[in-house]
Homo-oligomer: A and B are copies of this chain.
Amino acid sequence: MLSKKTKYGIKALTFLARQKDNTPVQIAEIAKAEHISLKFLESILLLLRHSGFLGAKKGKGGGYYLIKEPKDINMAKVYRILEGPIALLPCASHNFYEKCDDCTDESLCAVRKLMMEVRDNTLMILENNSLADIAF
């Protein structure tokens, strides 16, 4: 299940992508429009800024804005930042690989086999979707 963090993060990105011009939008405005807890959203936007998706402007008239074009924002990257691994099992993950404690021979593990197939497919979908693809 997707965490609310990821859900809210993508919603916020979408909201910014749908702005006419790229002027800063206040956290409070996004929170209100998307019905998101303000403080929680604050931490999410901060993370997205640190990850290079958003810029921020302080002071009056400040807020958050997209740094890149929506079409250049890859949803697989976004997903990994917000949610973490795309694979459903650590042993089936590219970027977050971890060996299972209980497995003696990974190559014989049926669960891993199945979950790698699922991962490959999910990854492909996320890679092939930009923010522009889902926002418009």
Contact = CB atoms under 8 A, between A and B. Distances in A.
Interface of A: 1-2, 7, 10-11, 14, 34-36, 75, 85, 88-89, 101-104, 109-111, 113-115, 117-118, 121-122, 125-126, 129, 131, 134-135
Nearest to A34: B102
B88 A1 contact: yes
Number of chain copies forming the complex: 2
A14 B110 CA distance: 7
A89 B1 contact: yes
Contacts of A7: 89, 111
Given A2-B88, A117-B129, A135 B110 contact: yes
A126 B115 CA distance: 9
A110 B1 contact: no
